[in-house]
Structure 1
Amino acid sequence: MYLHTQQLINEIAVDEPDPAAANALQEGLGGQFGEMRTMMQYLFQSINFRGDAAGKPYKDLLQGIGTEEISHVELIGTTISRLLDGSPRYNGKKTDPVDEPGAGGATPLKIALDTSNIHHYLVAAQGALPVDAAGNPWSGSYVYNSGNLALDLLYNLMLESTGRLQKCRIYEMTDNKTARSTIAYLIVRDQAHENAYAKALESLGVNWGAVLPIPKTNAEQFPEVKKLLDQGLQNVQYTFGADDLSEAGKLFRGASPSDATQELRTEVMPEGFPMTISPERREEFSPGLDKDLLALIQATAEVELKDADNPKETKASKKPKETQK
């Protein structure tokens, strides 16, 4: 079973809308090497895992990373949504005056026609989509699950390395603080997952470094990334096991494959950061609750709350009049 804690796994910095950055981030969400792919690949590998008790640490490692990837999908999707939210007011330059959608007879969603992905406005009401940066839908054919543990782990290491490489490229496409806060976090967590799969391969006697050198991106040059690396976020792996039965720690321990001077450790889960609900967007008719409908919903809720607080009175009021005394 899965439990959901209403916290974001990382804090999203506040900045102005940036629809172009939002579309670049779509590659990190729904692209071939994006978070939706890693989430599905690791979960399917753990679901389909075969073997005896000796294989449990490997299954638990896949399960834990796959579960974390669910939170990454939530994080990057929320970031895209925030980069788009209110973007009809955005002019592309901080020195430009703020637009008022529809002011002076202007077309409220004109920005959708010439800025990034029109489907962000036409289909998603200024929200994220399960697509890549070119608008291609995410495909289940991306998922690799051979049934051979060594092959799967080697492929996973390659997937994390490529994902980190792409996120470094996306980082250098934008200086938007909202985008970079999430990109930096995912770069560091990709490195943690590279470490995890590298340690698992080493335990199987696979000399992964000779056949798959992890690309040197020098990501520590990015200030947001360096801050997280200094905190050691690349050396911790979460189990997300509420029952504390995960054996992933048997693999994720000892010296880090990416830096032998640092030690690896496992934890159940991070503390997280508060989540908020986006405001409605009238120019998108979203959610579009009119005053009468909203009043009806509130009145119904008040009645239901009153019934919940006074269950005996509710039962008595439902009895036929002749039986009431």
Structure 2
Amino acid sequence: MFFHVQRMINEIVSDEPDPAAANALQEGLGGQFGEMRTMMQYLFQAMNFRGPDGKPYRDLLQGIGTEEISHVELIGTTISRLLDGSPQYQGKPTDPLDKPGAGGATPLSIALDEGNIHHYLVGAQGALPVDAAGNPWSGSYVYNSGNLPLDLLYNLMLESTGRLQKCRIYEMTANATARSTIAYLIVRDQAHENAYAKALESLGVKWNTLLPIPKTDAASFPEVKRLLDLGLQSKQYTFDLTGQSEAGKIFQGMSPSNDGTTLDASEQAPEGVPSTIAPERREEFAPGLDPELLELIQATAEMEMADVDALFGPVPPRSS
């Protein structure tokens, strides 16, 4: 089973809208080496895992696959934030993205020459399950051979390629919203490279004559350096509510990144940051609710919370 905590796994920093950066990020979401691919690949490998004696490896795949679900949520929400700016956007008076909708102008004219027009035509200024060229995500991307060394080696290559692409996307934009998410994913990709590298080492595979790629100094990116200084590249979460994960039998010892850190699999999950819902976009008719429907939604929410309180007691607010 999976449980959803209504918190984002990492903070998305506020900045100006940037539809072009949003489209570049689509490669990191729905591309061949994007977060949707890693999520599905690791979960399918975990679901199809055979051999009870190999449980630590299954648990490692399951924990990373579960984290990838949160990465899909993070990068998809970031794309939505980067698109949310036309019209009624209250930004810099000189920002060209303020022009659509101003003074009676066509509200969504920005869609004609910025980024992916489908973000506005069919996505209501939101993320889509496509790559940066607009190609739909495909289940054929998923690699699950059933052979553990092959799957782990392929996963290490996948994380290396994903990190390479995110380093390129980072260099394409100075937008703080985009970079906050890209930097986090670069560091977590490194953590997952460490996990699969350690798993391969435990099987006697000498992976490190070529992989991981890129052999970059990610600390040259300031947002990445801050996360590396926190040791985030050397943590792996179990997302296991019952404490039965054995992934820590693999994710331990000195980091394969040779950065002097020790691998740590003791945490269930990161604390995360508060999750917020984006404002309505009237020009997209999203969500398209009139006052009567809003009253029904509020009444339904109050009834659901009353049922939760009756079963479990009042839910205390979580500190940020």
Same fold by TM-score greater than 0.5: yes
Give the structure 2 partner of residue 319 of structure 1. Answer: none
CA distance in 1, matches of 2:108, 2:302: 39
- Unpaired runs of 5+ residues, structure 1, are 309-325
User: Over aligned residues, Cα RMSD in angstroms?
Assistant: 2.3
After superposition, where does 1:243-254 map in structure 2 within 5 Å?
Answer: 243-254=242-253
Find the residue that maps to 1:210 and give its secondary structure: coil
When residues 240 and 293 of structure 1 are mapped into structure 2, their CA distance, relative to the original with a 3 A threshold, is closer
Find the residue that maps to 1:265 and give its secondary structure: coil
CA distance in 2, matches of 1:60, 1:303: 38
After superposition, where does 1:54-73 map in structure 2 within 5 Å?
Answer: 54-73=53-72
Give the structure 1 partner of residue 32 of structure 2. Answer: 32
1:100 to partner: Cα distance: 5.7
Q: Tell me which amino acid in the other structure corresponds to 1:51.
A: G
Does structure 2 retain, via aligned residues, the 8 Å contact 1:40–1:66? yes
CA distance in 2, matches of 1:10, 1:163: 18
Give the structure 2 partner of residue 23 of structure 1. Answer: 23
Q: Tell me which amino acid in the other structure corresponds to 2:74.
A: L
Does structure 2 retain, via aligned residues, the 8 Å contact 1:30–1:132? yes
Does structure 2 retain, via aligned residues, the 8 Å contact 1:91–1:97? no
Q: Tell me which amino acid in the other structure corresponds to 1:294.
A: L
Q: Tell me which amino acid in the other structure corresponds to 1:150.
A: P
Of residues 80-89 and 149-158 in structure 1, the stretch that sits farther from structure 2 once superposed is: 80-89
Of residues 202-211 and 167-176 in structure 1, the stretch that sits farther from structure 2 once superposed is: 202-211
1:87 to partner: Cα distance: 3.8
Give the structure 1 partner of residue 73 of structure 2. Answer: 74
When residues 255 and 107 of structure 1 are mapped into structure 2, their CA distance, relative to the original with a 3 A threshold, is same
CA distance in 2, matches of 1:93, 1:167: 28
CA distance in 1, matches of 2:189, 2:301: 47
When residues 144 and 287 of structure 1 are mapped into structure 2, their CA distance, relative to the original with a 3 A threshold, is same
1:209 to partner: Cα distance: 1.1
After superposition, where does 1:154-193 map in structure 2 within 5 Å?
Answer: 154-193=153-192
CA distance in 2, matches of 1:277, 1:303: 18
Does structure 2 retain, via aligned residues, the 8 Å contact 1:18–1:92? no
CA distance in 2, matches of 1:297, 1:253: 48
Q: Tell me which amino acid in the other structure corresponds to 1:81.
A: S
1:205 to partner: Cα distance: 0.4
Give the structure 1 partner of residue 110 of structure 2. Answer: 111
- Unpaired runs of 5+ residues, structure 2, are 308-320
Does structure 1 retain, via aligned residues, the 8 Å contact 2:87–2:102? no
Deviations 1:157-209 (A, max 9, x none): 00000000000000000000000000000000000000000000000000011
Q: Tell me which amino acid in the other structure corresponds to 2:125.
A: Q
CA distance in 2, matches of 1:196, 1:297: 44
CA distance in 2, matches of 1:303, 1:201: 51
CA distance in 2, matches of 1:85, 1:32: 26
Find the residue that maps to 2:263 and give its secondary structure: strand
When residues 297 and 192 of structure 1 are mapped into structure 2, their CA distance, relative to the original with a 3 A threshold, is closer
Does structure 2 retain, via aligned residues, the 8 Å contact 1:11–1:181? yes
TM-score by length of 1: 0.89
When residues 301 and 69 of structure 1 are mapped into structure 2, their CA distance, relative to the original with a 3 A threshold, is closer
Structure label with greater radius of gyration: 1
Give the structure 2 partner of residue 51 of structure 1. Answer: 51
- Verify: 1:285 aligned to 2:301, yes or no: no
Structure with a larger share of its residues in strand: 1
CA distance in 1, matches of 2:219, 2:202: 28
Does structure 2 retain, via aligned residues, the 8 Å contact 1:255–1:264? yes
After superposition, where does 1:143-292 map in structure 2 within 5 Å?
Answer: 143-259=142-258, 261-266=260-265, 267-292=267-292
| % identical aligned pairs | 78
Give the structure 1 partner of residue 315 of structure 2. Answer: none
CA distance in 1, matches of 2:202, 2:302: 61
Does structure 1 retain, via aligned residues, the 8 Å contact 2:87–2:101? no
Find the residue that maps to 2:254 and give its secondary structure: strand
The number of residue pairs the alignment matches comes to 306
